[in-house]
Structure formats: structure tokens, C-alpha cells
């Protein structure tokens, strides 16, 4: 969602945040609502030479430096793996270690990086009057990393401002949360999110030889429903380049599970499979009690289980949430998908 024009629901939040004082903000909400994009826009506005009430001007030297990730007064603290994916520079020592394959990039925010940020707030000479530290996803700081940052967060030197963005605020140290002003991310309406997704999706940018596959409106609709209405999550699927295939697999998933067809899960990581099955379980249950499904179209769901099947669904839901807590490191992913599938078949076919 890294584009020049902010989505409307994010722009509204940015305008409101800019009217408020505060040197440390915590942007919190579930994944896919655009925390990073909002944090980035706020950082850019704070650093801009000619900001407006709507945010950064987008054309000054400062805005340009932020856009190309070289602004001397902006420190972005994120896991190394994410820095590499999003094109944010790493410090020289880290880059050397990764280049020489001494170790793999970290999925956590490392304490060394937090120490660098503390020294950035103390020593780096400011280009303008403000320095900004952006931390995302803040829940990827372990206790030591968070404590390293804590004192600076409490009493920032000079004109240092902090933006922490998180998709799991409950995992943050209470001391970190209490030192920030909280902002709860706003959910966009479904139609607004769908309109934005259409604008943000690729439109014929490919060459003649390799035409870009523009996902159909129906595919985008399926993906947004599958993402539970979280537009940035849906966009991540679009940006994978396989939007149509993912949408079709999603539509076929419920009936494939009812038949015990494990190939329907074969492209997913175990954690993604569990997430998909939790959504399926939710929807089958919803239909069973006369409510609307939330993640799948009604027509794609198998017939709801009978009365005794309700008990089966409850047990299945409990098992899935217990599996979700331990799914990061399955001993055998292939075996796990098979076991998830056979369990789903039993729950979906009980009479
Ligand atoms: Zn500017």
C-alpha cells in the first residue's frame, strides 16, 4: 500500500492525528488495516518542509528523501527480513553479515537495532527541527529490545517523535503502551475498501510479451471477503501476482474440505491453512444458526451439518484454536495438512 495517494480511510485518520499533540503514538489494530502506511505518512508529514493540514507536501527535499528511504532524521526500526523486503537500508555491519551469509535475516526487531536508534536520537545531526523513529511491527520487539527503547520513549531528547505501529498491541510491554498515545485503526467500509483495492491493483502495467493479469472485480471481491474486509491483507494477495488463482482456490476450499481433498490446502503454509479452516468453521457455524457467512460466499459453502453436527463444529473450533497457538513449528507440515483435512471432513459431514 506504498503509494503516493493515501486511501481515504487512512487520509481521514492522518488529518485527525496531525491536529493532535503528542511525541509518541501507538497505531494499533488487526493486520491489514494499513498501520504501516499511516505511520509512514505521519512520519513524512512531521518531517516535511511545507506540511499542510492533510499531511506532507510530497515535493520538497525532505519528502523526496523519505520516499527514497534516505532521510537522515528518520529511523525505521523493523525486523531485518522486513527491511530487506520493503527496501529499507540496514546498518553496514548487519548488511555485511547478511551478504556473507553468516546468518539469516532476523524476523524479530533486534536489540542492536534498538541501540542504534537510541544513539540516533542522541547524536545524529538533525536536517530540520524534528527527528522521527518509526517502529513496525512493534510487537516484534522482545522484552530486552523494548526495554532498550523505553527510556528514550519516556524522555525523548530534543524534538524526537515516535510512531509505533502494531498488529498485536496485547503483545507489547504494558510500559511501552503506557508511554504512547493510543490510536485505534479505523476499519474502512466494504465498498470503500473494494474501490481502493481496484485502484491499487495492477492495470495493464506488463509488457506485451508478459501481460499483467488484472484481477477481475469478482476476484477482488472474493479476496476482500477472504481477508475479513482488511484491504491491505487482500492487496498482499493481489501483489503476489496470483490473485485469480488464490480467489478460485478460496471459492473451492469449503467443498474440497467436505470431500477430504488435501490438495486444496497444498499451496498454504500450515499457519495459513489453520487460519482458512477457522474462517470456514466460523462460516459453517454462522449458516447453521441462520446468520450470514463472513469469509466465504454462501453458494461456495457445503450444506450445513445437521443438529448433531453442531457439537462436532464446536469441538472442531476448539481444536483449531488450540492448533493455531502451536502451528508456527509443525514437526511435519505435509502430515499436518493431511490431518487438518481429515478433521475438517469429519466436522463438515456429520449429520
Ligand atoms: Zn514535503
**Residues contacting residue 327 through CB under 8 Å, at least 6 positions apart:** 270, 271, 274, 336
What whole-number distance in Å separates Cα of residue 161 and Cα of residue 159?
6
d(CA 137, CA 128): 26
Please tell me the distance between residue 14's alpha carbon and the centre of ligand 1 in angstroms: 15
Write the DSSP symbol of residue 185. Answer: P
Q: What is the pLDDT of residue 211?
A: 43
- Tell which residue, 245, 242, 250, 260, has the closest CA to residue 225: 250
Query: Which are the contacts of 160, defined by CB distance < 8 A and separation ≥ 6?
Result: 23, 121, 130, 131, 132, 133, 152
Residue 181 backbone dihedrals phi, psi, to 5 degrees: -80, 135
Distance CA 91, CA 97 (A): 10
Please give the distance, rounded to the nearest whole angstrom, from the Cα atom of residue 121 to the centre of ligand 1. Answer: 22
Distance 287 CA to ligand 1 centre (A): 51
Q: Residue 18: enclosing H or E segment and its boundaries?
A: helix 8-18
- Distance, in Å, from the CA atom of 98 to the CA atom of 275, rounded to the nearest integer, reads 32
pLDDT at 155: 87
**Spacing, Cα 231 to ligand 1 middle (Å):** 27
| DSSP for 197-219, written as a single string | HHHHS--S-S-SSS---PPPHHH
Burial zone of 30 (CB within 10 Å; 0-12 exposed, 13-18 middle, 19+ buried): middle
Walk across the sheet containing 131-135 and list its strands.
74-77, 131-135, 160-166, 24-28, 181-184
Distance from the CA of 43 to the center of ligand 1, in angstroms?
Answer: 11
List the end-to-end C-alpha distance of the chain, in Å, as a whole number: 45
Determine the distance separating the centroid of ligand 1 and the alpha carbon of 178, expressed in angstroms. Answer: 31
Measure 44 CA to ligand 1 centroid, in angstroms: 7
Pairwise CA distance, residues 167 & 343, whole Å: 30
* CA–CA dist 280, 250 (Å, integer): 10
What pLDDT, on the 0 to 100 scale, is given for residue 204? Answer: 46
Give the largest CA-CA distance in the chain.
70
CA of 164 to the centre of ligand 1 (A): 22
pLDDT of 330: 67
Ligand 1 centroid–CA 277 distance in Å is: 45
Q: Which residues pair with 133 in a beta bridge?
A: 75, 162
**Crossing angle between the packed helical segments 307-326 and 333-349, to the nearest 10 degrees:** 160
**Residue pointed to by grid coordinates 504501516:** 36
What is the pLDDT tens value at each position of the chain, 351 positions in all? Answer: 444 578 899 999 999 999 998 899 999 999 889 999 999 999 999 999 999 999 999 999 999 999 999 999 999 999 999 999 899 999 888 889 999 988 899 999 999 999 999 999 987 666 678 999 999 999 999 999 999 999 999 888 878 999 999 999 999 999 999 999 999 999 999 999 999 888 887 764 444 444 456 789 999 999 999 999 999 889 988 888 889 999 999 999 999 999 999 999 988 888 899 999 999 999 999 998 889 999 999 999 998 777 666 778 889 999 999 998 888 776 788 888 999 999 999 888 876
- The DSSP secondary structure of 36-101, one letter per residue, reads HHHHHHHHHHHH-SS-BTTB--SSSHHHHHHHTT--TTEEEE--HHHHHHHTPPPPHHHHHHHHTT
Distance 182 CA to ligand 1 centre (A): 26
Amino acid at each position: 500500500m506504498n503509494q503516493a495517494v493515501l486511501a481515504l480511510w487512512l487520509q481521514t485518520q492522518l488529518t485527525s492525528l496531525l491536529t493532535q499533540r503528542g511525541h509518541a503514538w501507538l497505531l494499533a489494530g488487526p493486520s491489514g488495516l494499513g498501520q504501516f502506511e499511516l505511520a509512514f505518512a505521519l512520519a513524512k508529514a512531521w518531517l516535511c518542509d511545507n506540511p499542510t493540514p492533510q499531511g506532507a507536501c510530497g515535493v520538497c527535499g525532505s519528502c523526496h528523501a523519505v520516499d527514497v528511504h534516505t532521510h537522515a532524521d528518520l529511523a525505521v526500526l523493523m525486523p531485518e527480513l522486513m527491511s530487506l523486503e520493503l527496501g529499507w537500508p540496514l546498518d553496514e555491519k548487519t548488511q555485511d553479515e547478511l551478504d556473507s551469509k553468516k546468518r539469516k535475516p532476523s524476523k524479530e526487531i533486534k536489540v542492536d537495532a534498538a541501540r542504534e536508534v537510541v544513539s540516533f536520537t542522541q547524536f545524529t545531526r538533525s536536517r530540520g527541527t524534528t527527528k522521527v523513529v518509526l517502529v513496525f511491527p512493534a510487537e516484534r520487539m522482545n522484552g530486552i529490545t523494548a526495554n532498550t527503547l523505553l527510556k528514550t520513549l519516556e524522555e525523548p531528547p530534543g524534538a524526537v517523535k515516535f510512531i509505533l505501529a502494531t498488529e498485536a498491541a496485547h503483545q507489547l510491554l504494558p510500559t511501552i503502551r503506557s508511554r504512547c498515545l493510543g490510536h485505534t485503526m479505523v476499519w474502512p467500509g466494504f465498498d470503500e475498501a473494494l474501490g481502493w483495492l481496484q485502484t491499487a491493483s495492477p492495470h495493464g502495467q506488463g509488457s506485451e510479451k508478459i501481460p499483467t493479469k488484472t484481477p477481475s472485480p469478482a476476484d477482488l471481491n472474493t479476496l476482500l471477503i477472504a481477508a475479513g474486509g482488511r484491504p491491505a491483507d487482500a492487496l498482499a494477495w493481489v501483489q503476489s501476482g496470483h490473485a485469480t488463482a488464490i480467489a478460485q482456490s478460496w471459492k473451492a476450499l469449503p467443498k474440497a474440505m467436505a470431500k477430504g481433498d488435501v490438495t486444496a490446502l497444498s499451496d498454504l503454509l500450515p499457519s495459513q491453512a489453520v487460519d482458512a479452516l477457522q474462517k470456514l468453521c466460523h462460516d459453517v457455524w454462522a449458516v447453521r444458526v441462520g446468520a450470514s457467512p463472513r469469509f466465504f460466499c454462501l453458494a461456495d459453502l457445503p450444506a450445513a451439518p445437521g443438529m448433531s453436527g453442531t457439537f462436532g463444529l464446536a469441538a472442531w473450533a476448539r481444536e483449531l484454536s488450540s492448533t493455531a497457538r502451536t502451528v508456527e513449528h509443525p514437526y511435519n507440515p505435509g502430515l499436518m495438512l493431511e490431518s487438518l483435512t481429515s478433521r475438517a471432513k469429519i466436522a463438515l459431514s456429520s449429520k
